[in-house]
Amino acid sequence: MSGKEANAVLVEMLKSVQEDIKELKVKIQELQEDNAQAAVNGEKMYKVLNAKFDMFKNLEAQSRESIQQQASTGTRKLTRPAFFKKLYIEDRDKYLDVLYTEAEIKAAYESSQVKAKTKEADRISKVVTILYTNHIKANNPEGRAGAFASLYDSATATK
């Protein structure tokens, strides 16, 4: 190998190393930018967590206890079917001819679904379900759904 050939090979090797160095510089720059972004995100997260911790520390022990009690014993708004069941069980005659009729109650008790129940409580629940589905929810006869809705809204508005 002559001197010129050796020089040419050496120049090619140096160019290759120079390109590798440029690529490594670009990668290092990208990593530095990613690291800087991670530091900014970490700082933001630190501030948020610190603020939440401060808020929690500032709550008095008594107020924390009441919040926990409310969460565990909170009063829930009854669903429409559950409210209808409550009305029916508490005083069946009070809403007779308003939300249901004696004939509709009798027909519900005569249904095979109710007769299949062995316990009285289960039969009453099924009758309530049938009355609610067939007459209140279906608005049959017309006006039942509106009457029930006004009762439900007035009872649950205060809660």
Residue 78 identity (one-letter amino acid): L
pTM score, two decimals?
A: 0.52
Q: What is the pLDDT along the chain (159 residues), one digit of tens a residue?
A: 787 888 888 889 989 999 999 999 999 999 898 888 888 888 888 888 888 877 777 766 655 566 566 666 656 788 888 888 888 888 888 888 888 889 999 999 999 999 998 998 899 999 999 988 988 888 877 888 888 888 888 888 765
